[in-house]
Amino acid sequence: MQNQNIKNEIEQLREEINRHNYYYYVLNQPIISDDEYDALIRKLISLEAQYPQFFDENSPTQKVGSDISEKFEKVEHKYRMYSLEDAFSEKEVIEFDNRVKRNLDINDCLAYSVEPKFDGVSVNIIYENGKLKVASTRGDGIIGENITKNIKTLKNLPLVLIVKNPPSFLDVQGEVILTKEEFKKINEYREEIGLALFANPRNAAAGSLKQLDPKETAKRNLKVFVYYIRGIEAYTQPKTQTQSLQILKELGLPVSELNRYCKNIQEAIAYRQTFLKAREELPYEIDGMVFKVDDFSLQEKLSYTSKYPKWAIAFKFPPMQSSTTVEDIIFNVGRTGIVTPVAILKPVKIGGVTISRASLHTFDELFKKDIRIGDYVFVQRAGDVIPEVVSSIPEKRNGKEKHVVKPTNCPVCSSLLQEEGAYLICPNIDCRARIVESLKHFVQKNALNIEGLGDKIIQQLVAKKIVQSVSDIYKLDKNKLLQLDRMGEKLANKILENIEKSKRTTFAKFLYALGIKHVGEFVANKLANNFSLEGLMELKDEEKLMQIEGIGPEIAKSVVAFFKEQRNINTIKNLLENISFIDNKKSTKLLNETFVFTGILGIPRSKAKEIVENLGGVVKDSLSKDTNYLVVGDEPGSKLEKAKKLGILIISEDEFLKLVGNELRD
């Protein structure tokens, strides 16, 4: 009886996973997040291992998920296409390394080719006598779909190999991907015309690649990276994965710059570690690093399971996306009066952080995305920005979900709200919510950095009318602070000390702290570099502002309007009774010098960038002839070699800090 129950459970799991495979691979519209899917797979793997009597070669644990639709002509692969085994912890990876060594009966270290695991669509591409002949999708691994016409629209893939004697036959595998930016654009467009949104760039890439009309594919700006040579004739035969990647590069095919040969598993793990944060700055998604046993003769000995090579493992990153339910949608009044809908979520862990609210940006977006209270949604976190709701999952509705109604009055001060373009605005400058938000912004780390003045304290200060404008912060004293709940001597002293410290700041930080609409840190720096405070107050129109690169009409308009408002001028004057600027004038120490960074630095990259920009320099992501300095941290990437070739000045982090001098003192 017990066995019957287990069998049922296994079968139900298989059925459920197959259903999700269909949503994911064929429709490109998953209804659960990848981590939920991975959990189902893991559960099934463990049950199947425990109860081998229920083995089934058709189980989704034994086969790659098939993306075969009825839309395209079929192609039989010359070489079978596999998936990859996953690992989620260092322990699992070490186990893998040990298992491989055991199977090979060796004790020495194993060298690996470590490569980014692109989160895209697997494709097989065949060149004959240097010409692109056929391209196909993975399909079920044995038979794929012919997407040659679509692949030919990819701009970074050569149709002809430009080497003197190209191989007579070349069979490669790679990944078609979409940049994060392009993904956003596609979803914005779909939102506009009322189509279901893609949950992530991978699904969007798959949807874009498998368009019946190649012209549609061409519009999507897809890219491909190749990572396997599966067959090559009349050309150098690679003996290792590292050599294969070199040959691919030499043939002019797009190969990732992030691939690296690592002489043992520790080095491989350490290299992957450097991408935990760095991946957020890459223009496309990678969801892990693939470790491949480098030596082909060893690969051959290890061979394959029915689903993946036994010589490779994907060491995944914690996912940045998950799904959860919307428990409520509330209206938040920002410091500029803009009212935004915010989703209150059933708490969910994403990339190690618990998320319980997510922005919905504007009401237009909320309605277009059709997010309802009670909905299941995909939620995404990127870097330090506020998490956002990507899309709802209508398949999971039960009919009890509630639509949101646009408010007519400010939820805080009850003023009648006004429509301004895409925005809904509380026009009351004295609205308590606006003051609270202005204060929160003002004391932020990147603004005037007044630690200790937390949200709860600010709310009390405003509710008790002790503070009614940002400049009132400088009128605070111990007596006033001690009127607040949960305020002790010690905290009060600390806050006053920090307020004192904030009185010396840079002009750029001051401008940013004012909370002018559309003026973030970047624009504040630009303004500070080009204008004095008087200059900004004297602006008659937008023209002068718009001559500055990076400042468009909308920003310019908002800046001019801000300095025209007498209330704001008064606030500035009151603030300047206490605040003075250091480095008020733009430093020209590094004027127009170009910097590129590589490897891990002791200080955050953002900080290094800020320092350079404050001194008039420029930071770029990639090297060119015009680069002046390459700053090298620990474990530098391929940029180091390239810089040597280009004859660029290479300096260490210490040298860099010396070069920028005092700028680091906070």
Residue numbers at the binding site for Zn ion (CB under 5 A): 410, 412-413, 415, 426, 428, 431
Find the DSSP H helices in 421-501: 432-443, 455-463, 478-482, 489-501
> Which string of x and - marks every residue 452-491 that binds ligand NAD (by CB under 6 A)?
----------------------------------------
Look up residue 82 and give its two tokens.
């596999």
Nearer to ligand NAD, 322 or 428 (CB): 322
Q: Which amino acid is at 200?
A: N
426 binds, among Zn ion, ligand NAD, none (CB under 5 to 8 A by kind): Zn ion
Distance CA 345, CA 379 (A): 9
Q: What is the 3-state secondary structure (H, E, C) of 347-392?
A: EEEECCEEEEEEECCCHHHHHHHCCCECCEEEEECCCCCCCEEEEE
Which of 417, 447, 444 lies closest to 433 in space, CA to CA? Answer: 417
The answer to the question of residue 210 lying near ligand NAD (CB under 6 A) is no
Q: Which of 10, 44, 64, 619 binds ligand NAD (CB under 6 A)?
A: 64
Residue 333 Cβ, how far from Zn ion at the closest point, in Å?
5
- Under the binding rule (CB under 6 A), the answer on residue 32 touching ligand NAD is yes
Pick 33 or 274: Cβ nearer ligand NAD: 33
Q: Is 48 in the site for ligand NAD (CB under 6 A)?
A: no
- Strand, helix or coil at 161? coil
Helix (H, G, I), strand (E, B) or coil at 117: strand
Q: What mask, x for binding ligand NAD by CB under 6 A, covers residues 173 to 192? A: --x-----------------
Q: Are 327 and 373 in contact (CB under 8 A)?
A: yes
Q: How far apart are CA 61 and CA 56, in angstroms?
A: 9
Placement of tokens 């996953």 in the chain:
86
Binding-site member from 77, 117, 210, 381 for ligand NAD (CB under 6 A): 117
Per-residue contact track with ligand NAD, 156 to 175, x per CB under 6 A? -------------------x
Segment interacting with ligand NAD (CB under 6 A) among 24-32, 262-270, 394-402, 578-586: 24-32
What is the rounded CA–CA span in Å between residue 313 and residue 292? 7
Instruction: Output the known binding site for NAD(+).
Output: 34-38, 83-84, 115, 138, 175, 292, 316
Give the Cα separation of 527 and 603 in Å (integer): 26
Q: Which of 18, 83, 179, 606 binds ligand NAD (CB under 6 A)?
A: 83
227 part of the interface to ligand NAD, by CB under 6 A: yes
Of 110-118, 338-346, 354-362, 628-636, the window that binds ligand NAD (rule: CB under 6 A) is 110-118
Nearer to Zn ion, 334 or 387 (CB): 334
253 binds, among Zn ion, ligand NAD, none (CB under 5 to 8 A by kind): none
Q: Which stretch binds ligand NAD (CB under 6 A): 114-122, 234-242, 260-268, 454-462?
A: 114-122
415 vs 449, beta carbon nearer Zn ion: 415
Angle at 119 between CA 116 and CA 120, to 5 degrees: 120
Residue of 34, 97, 401, 472 that binds ligand NAD (CB under 6 A): 34
Please report how close the Cβ of residue 430 comes to Zn ion at its closest, in angstroms: 8
User: Pick the catalytic residue: 117, 440, 509, 642?
Assistant: 117
Residue with smaller CB distance to ligand NAD, 113 or 428: 113
Inter-helix orientation angle 34-50/2-21, to 10°: 150
Partner whose footprint covers residue 473, from ligand NAD, Zn ion, none (CB < 5 to 8 Å by kind):
none
**Helices (H) then strands (E): counts for the chain:** 25, 24
Residue 412 binding result from Zn ion, ligand NAD, none, given CB thresholds of 5 to 8 Å by partner type: Zn ion
What are the CA-CA distances from residue 628 to residues 126, 211, 602, 648 (Å)?
41, 44, 21, 6
* Residue 24 binds ligand NAD (CB under 6 A): yes
Q: Give 127's strand partners.
A: 132, 170
Nearer to ligand NAD among residue 122 and residue 505 (C-beta): 122
Contact present, 389 and 360 (Cβ < 8 Å): yes
DSSP symbol at 25: I
Asked if 38 touches ligand NAD (CB under 6 A), the answer is: yes
E strand segments, 22-77? 74-76
Q: Confirm if 418 and 333 have CB atoms less than 8 A apart.
A: no
Type of residue found at 136 = S
CB of 78 to ligand NAD, least distance (A): 17
CB-wise, 426 or 648, nearer to Zn ion? 426
Residue from 10, 61, 65, 648 that binds ligand NAD (CB under 6 A)? 65
144 binds ligand NAD (CB under 6 A): no
Q: What is the DSSP letter of 65?
A: P
What the block records as the tokens of 572 is 């500035």
Nearest Cα to Cα of residue 209 among 222, 197, 190 = 222
Nearest to 61 by CA among 305, 304, 300, 302: 305
Please say if 117 is a catalytic residue: yes
84 interacts with ligand NAD by CB under 6 A: yes
Q: Which two tokens stand for residue 361?
A: 């940006």
For tokens 């004057």, the residue is 573
Sheet arrangement for strand 594-598: 618-620, 594-598, 629-632, 649-652
Binding mask 626-665 for ligand NAD (x = CB under 6 A): ----------------------------------------
Closest C-alpha among 283, 273, 317 to residue 600 = 273
**CB contact at 8 A, 317 and 280:** no
Comparing CB distances to Zn ion, the nearer of 414 and 588 is 414
Residues at the binding site for Zn(2+) are 410, 413, 426, 431
314 in contact with ligand NAD (CB under 6 A):
yes
Residues 273-302, one symbol each (x = binds ligand NAD by CB under 6 A, - = not), give -----------------x------------
Q: Which is nearer to ligand NAD, 319 or 387 (CB)?
A: 319
Q: Which residues are catalytic?
A: 117
Binding site for ligand NAD (CB under 6 A): 20-21, 23-24, 30, 32-34, 37-38, 64-65, 83-84, 86, 115, 117-118, 122, 175, 227, 290, 314
